[in-house]
Amino acid sequence: MPPGLRERHFCSWGLLLWLSIGSAGDAPPTPQKKCTDFQNANLLQGTNLKVQFLLFTPLEPSCGQLVQESGDIQNSGFNATLGTKLIIHGFRALGTKPSWIDTFIGTLLRAANANVIAVDWVYGSTGVYFSAVENVVKLGLEISRFLSKLLVLGVPESSIHIIGVSLGAHVGGMVGHFYKGQLGRITGLDPAGPEYTRASLEERLDPGDALFVEAIHTDTDNLGIRIPVGHVDYFVNGGQDQPGCPTFIHAGYSYLICDHMRAVYLYISALENSCPLMAFPCATYKAFLAGQCLDCFNPFLLSCPRIGLMEQSGIKIEPLPKEVKVYLLTTSRAPYCVCTADLWPRHLLCFGFPVHHSLVEFYLQEPRNKDTFISVTFLSSNVTSQVKITIPRQELQGKGVIAHANPQCQINQVKLKFHSSHRVWRKDRTTIVGKFCTAPLPVNDNKKMVCLPEPVNLQASETVSYDLKIMCV
């Protein structure tokens, strides 16, 4: 190359180099981190796991970093001093990315200063459900190997929280079993029922899989497991037939999946701290609705559990009891604890399903020879909620649990209606006299009980309104 051309060539490269790094003393630009998304599989690709571990951090909540090997973890934004939360999805019939996963990750990162790792096993979870079940042990081993790399970096076992959805809950149980129950926490969001209701403890989620195991049940009559599998098991609205979900098969896919996925959206709502989702231990859902379980004394010594990230769900006793069924009521849509005026009365599914729970009682002055049915309706500025209580024949007292969106001191009025015996040939003019009382749950002492000052006179089929004056504490 001639000398002059060589000099111009050198100068050109020098100019390009100067432009690329800036003037002297300027730092080179930071390379962009590569973001990785979930895989998509088709029905013929459901035999190979092809697991991906995607790290999301508070600094980059929407950028998943692929962290398969120890070097990947060390070069990522993983912080060994923070807690680590693993999200494990369940069966993916069509081999697609879960529609809820991005919202879940973002909400979790806002609620907790933690490393969030999403486990992508779409390939192994697609196709036939029973093939996905066969992959649970393999996936459990892969996740266990991955966690061992975190432990080498100094991550304590007790700081690891696994959140498993449906089949993913039993994967989490498998991982916890491999770590001899020393992981910090496992949350099962409507753990899968098919193939697991009669499974051994080694094969499914159970209280021995972590220091604290909880499960939220929303579809026990279909896709979810009907037995308790944790230290605490939340049976939301009894564990089945969630308000707002379709009740007829013509709704198609939504009919099949709505109840099952309610656990996911309920948990997301709880993470957003939009309202307290408190539950009460009881032998059955019917007994809970009948007002027989009011104070969380047995077995939690008054510490009622709450859905969310509170340590041990707010339960402050040791050792933890196991497989305790707890119940709560919710509304038909997020945030599942507010029944707004625009929903009432046009949207009857909202009726009676908010989140503050109250005991309501009616005492007859004299017993009757037949069952007595009384509707109790609470009204505030923007909320209406109702419950129907029964006073059995020859008894004086009937009670039930009513749920409402506002604290009890914001309830302005109560409406009482004594239901007619439906005499066709003439109007029922039966009158009853009694006393109405109410108290917010949990009822730890009788000081919370507020009663209407005068005896209540109710005539069949007529509604009577009374002002409620309850002091806010």
Angstrom distance (rounded) from CA 243 to CA 265: 13
Please list the residues that pair with 65 across neighbouring strands: 55
CA 321 to chain centroid, in Å, comes to 20
Strands (DSSP E) along 171-283, which ranges? Answer: 185-189, 212-217, 232-236, 280-281
Catalytic residue among 125, 166, 269, 385: 166
Q: Within 13 A of 186's CA, how many CA atoms are on the CB side?
A: 34
Is there a catalytic annotation at residue 190? yes
Number of other residues whose CB lies within 10 A of the CB of residue 94: 11
DSSP string for 336-349 = SS---GGGTTT-GG
Catalytic residue among 159, 170, 177, 190: 190
188 close to 216: Cβ distance less than 8 angstroms = yes
- How are the residues of the chain apportioned to helix, strand and coil, as percentages rounded to the nearest 5? 30, 25, 45
Angstrom distance (rounded) from CA 80 to CA 57: 12
Is there a catalytic annotation at residue 260? yes
Number of other residues whose CB lies within 10 A of the CB of residue 272: 14
Amino acid identity, residue 382? N
H/E element, 360? strand 356-364
Catalytic residue among 89, 177, 260, 404: 260
Length of the chain, in residues: 473
Number of other residues whose CB lies within 10 A of the CB of residue 157: 17
Angstrom distance (rounded) from CA 257 to CA 237: 16
For tokens 């993470």, the residue is 271
End-to-end CA distance of the chain: 91
Angstrom distance (rounded) from CA 283 to CA 330: 19
Residues in Cβ contact with 69 at an 8 Å cutoff, skipping those fewer than 6 apart = 149
65 close to 118: Cβ distance less than 8 angstroms = no
306 close to 324: Cβ distance less than 8 angstroms = no
Catalytic machinery residues: 166, 190, 260
